[in-house]
Structure formats: C-alpha cells, structure tokens
A and B are shown apart, each in its own frame.
Chain A
Amino acid sequence: MDRIIAQLPRFFSERNLILLLESAGLTLAMTALGCLIGFFLALVLVYLRKTPGLWALPLRLVCVAYVEVFRRIPFLVIVYLVLFFIQTVIRDASLFTVAVIAICLYATAYTAEIIRAGLESVPQQQIDAATAMNLGRFRTTLWVVLPQSMPVIVPPSVAFAVGFIKDTALVSQVGVFELTFRGKELNNQGFSAVLVFGTIAFVYFLMSWPLSLYGQYLETRLAAPRSQRRPRKIRQS
C-alpha cells in the first residue's frame, strides 16, 4: 500500500495521463469504427440473407454460414487470423487497421442476428401493404420495415458496442497501443500492477458507464409511440 501511495505522483505524471487518454481514445475509436461499419455490413448481410428465390440459395447459405461461424470463434482468434491474413496481402497494414477489421468482422456477425430479429418483429401486413403499393423489397425494407424495427434493433446494438469497449482489450495481444497495452507497458516500467490496472479498470468503467446510460435512454425514447417522439417546438413568447 505504501508503495502504491509513494508511486502516485510519478504515476499520474502528465506524460502518463496523456498516454492513458490517448490509448483510451484509441480504444473508443476502434470500437466505434468497428461496430459502426459492422452495423452497416450487418444490414447488408441480413438483406442479402433474405433474398427470395431459388437462385439466391447459395447467397443465403453464405450469409448464414458467416453469422454462424463468426459467432462461434473467440474474438482473439479472429484478431490473429486478421493479423496474419492482412500481412500476407498488405505488408505495412497498421495494427489499428487490423484491430478495426477484426472488430468489424465480429460485430457484423453479432449485430446481424440483432437486426434479423428486429426486421422480423415488423408485422407481415406492413410488408403486404407496401408490396401492394409497388414498393419493392428494397424500398419496403428501407422505408417501412427498418424504421419500424429500430426500437428493437438499436438498444441491443448499442449494448453490444458498449460491451465491446472492454472486449477490445484483447487486441493488446497483437500490440495495438490501446488501453490495456499501455497498462502492461506501465506495469513493466515498475509501477504497481494494482495501481496500473486499477486505474485502467476505472477508465474502462468511465468509458462504458455513460454510454450504457445513453443506451438505456435511447431504449425508453424509442419505445415511446412515434407521435410522442417529435422534437418539441420552442414556444415563442
């Protein structure tokens, strides 16, 4: 304990704080970028997966296989796979790129299931009505089904992304300078492990907590009937 207290001023030096902040930012950026791109890829994947017709059977199988396979591989294994695969293609790919791609691959598989459940929650009659008005599958999905399934899709997707902030710690294994990697570095510099990882843990918490609250806010807001979701007009006095 005395050792920790003695280390405090040196540990919370300006340089270390900047380092921690930077790596926290990197962690957030990786997660946000990976999950966001993953979300859009998942939308595409689910749309392709629902392509009707016999000719699209191979396409549907590929989509199902992707989701089922990637949801059953540990994230760390995906990270290594991406790392070694990317290096055979692009020699000087940055580790950040590797991390984002890995997160993306993983997030796509997970959010695809969330999105599929969301789209399926919209009653078939809505689709029938749109079809009878000649909307077509793409426009029906984009204008009718997707907006109505957002209350079902957004909260768990945000929860997934927020949960993933901490799981990105795994990419420290390949040497991305994110939060956990910096922690290991500082620990190696002789700082107490309890102090270092206690601080790191606290930073992870600080990043996740407000975002979880935001997710819960979104959930209640989206659950409200559409009519009550209009922006409030500012009253003129």
Chain B
Amino acid sequence: MPHLEVSDVRARYGSLEVLSGVSFTVDRGEVVALVGPSGSGKSTVLRLLVGLLPPSGGTVRVAGEPVDYRRAAMVRAVRDRMAIVFQQYNLFQNMDVLKNVTLAPVRIKGRDRREVEDLARRLLDRVGLGDKLHAYPDELSGGQQQRVAIARALAMQPEILLLDEVTSALDPELVNEVLEVIRDLAREGMTMILVSHEMAFVREIADRVVMMDKGSVVEEGPPAEILDNPRTARARDFFGKILRH
C-alpha cells in the first residue's frame, strides 16, 4: 500500500481550474520529484496536501485512510504527518532560530520543551547551523534560512516532507548547501515530495519523477526513463528545452 495516494485530485482558484485530475503515489521512504513548467500546478499539489488550498474533487489517502479536507480535525491530523518547506523559507521573522524550530512541537504538539530543544539543537547542528540558535532570520543568508526552515519542518517529525522549490529563491552559490541537506535526508530514507527545477539533482536523488503540465500529470517513471527517454511529446519538449545546455 502506498503511503500517500493522490487520485484524480482537482482544485480551483475561483473559476480557474489549477489542478484537473492529478494522480500519483508515494511509497514509504521514497523520494518523488514533481517537475514541469511554471504554472503546471506542482506547488499547488503541495499546498493542497497540507490543507492550504481545499481540493474541489478527487481523493487523497494517507496510509490508506481517505482525507476529508472539509473537516478541520482531519486537516489538522494530516498536517501532523506532513511538513512543508517553502520556496521563500517563511521563517517567522519575529522569532530567533531556536524559537522558529521549537514553536510548533512545544506549543502545538505539546511535547516537552527540553526534549524538543535538544532535538532542535541536533537538527540545527546537522544542517550546519548549530552556532546560530539565537540569530534572527534577518541575520542569516538565504541558504541558512532555508536550512533552518528544513530543520523546523523536521522538528515536527513528519512522515512525509514536502519541499516546494526550496532552492529557487537562493543565490547560485547557496544552492548546494541546501541540496546537501536534502541529499542526506534522502539517504536516511525520509519520504519526500520534491518540487524542483534542479534536474541534475532530481536525477540524482529522486526514485520517481512525476511530470506535470497544465494541472495534470503528463508522464511518470524513474528519472532515467523520464528525463532521458520521455514517451510523450510534451515531456520531450520540456526536457529538451531545459536539459540541453
């Protein structure tokens, strides 16, 4: 049984349909990359999964259980199992690094503060920011902020980590420090859904690639297959444009 199953999911912003029947699955420990042109709905899928945008149709199953996004209690339960990292980091500007990481586990999940702080220290150490516990976001570079954001998501101890173009807002020389962290997580068997334009990275760490266009899935399969021998004309066109340098 796949850990996450998205089937025929639809969503709309007002009258505009942004997802018109998206289906894919994610197994436990798998890294799935969502790729495709801007506006294809990749980020929307992630936003929908954590309940930031209600689906207008289709079903999402987590560990076999269908999720009813109209029920607040169910949405909260889903958010307990998934954590999202955003393109713009979205660290809380009014809190220092440690507070950013510990806030939700302590105040929302009600876990022991000391325990969570220990975990936060370990996580921040691991992303290379063990010395920045009391820095504020505006004192950190984009790459550092994004690593804090990843630590913050991990502190929630999610079953699935959603990464929404986490390197797109970074200066080129800061991209690698963030990718290194994600590479590490993949090695440890973290279940992840990754929206990314870094094709070389996708090829390296993704178990499966799902290519989207205009709100639906065009093609999916292992990276080697999808990136190098796409079956559909749309995918050939897309990868042809971005991989040819």
Contact = CB atoms under 8 A, between A and B. Distances in A.
Given A134-B80, A135-B108, A227-B138, 15 more contacts: A125-B90, A126-B90, A128-B52, A129-B90, A131-B51, A131-B52, A133-B156, A134-B104, A134-B108, A135-B104, A147-B94, A148-B92, A226-B93, A227-B136, A227-B139
B84 interface: yes
B84 A132 contact: yes
B36 to A, nearest CB: 22
15 contacts: A125-B86, A125-B88, A126-B93, A128-B52, A129-B86, A131-B51, A133-B104, A134-B76, A134-B79, A135-B108, A143-B107, A148-B92, A225-B136, A227-B136, A227-B139
Interface string A133-154: 1110001000110011000000
Contacts, number: 58
Contacts of A134: 76, 79-80, 104, 108
A148 B136 CA distance: 13
A130 interface: yes
Contacts of A135: 104, 108
Contact of B50 (A132, A139, A148): A132
Tell me whether chain A's interface is mostly helix, strand or loop, or mixed.
helix
Contact of B92 (A130, A131, A227): A130
A127 B135 CA distance: 21
Nearest to B149: A129
Interface in A81-134: 125-126, 128-134
A225 B138 contact: yes
Interface in B59-88: 76, 79-80, 83-84, 86, 88
Contact of B138 (A125, A129, A144, A226): A226
B103 interface: yes
Nearest to B92: A144
A129 B95 CA distance: 14
A145 to B, nearest CB: 9
Among A128, A133, A139, A227, the one with the most B-chain Cβ atoms within 10 Å of its Cβ is: A133
A153 B107 CA distance: 26
A1 B50 CA distance: 78
Interface in B27-65: 47, 50-52
A139 B76 CA distance: 14
A231 to B, nearest CB: 13
B108 A133 contact: yes
A144 B88 contact: no
Interface in A169-187: none
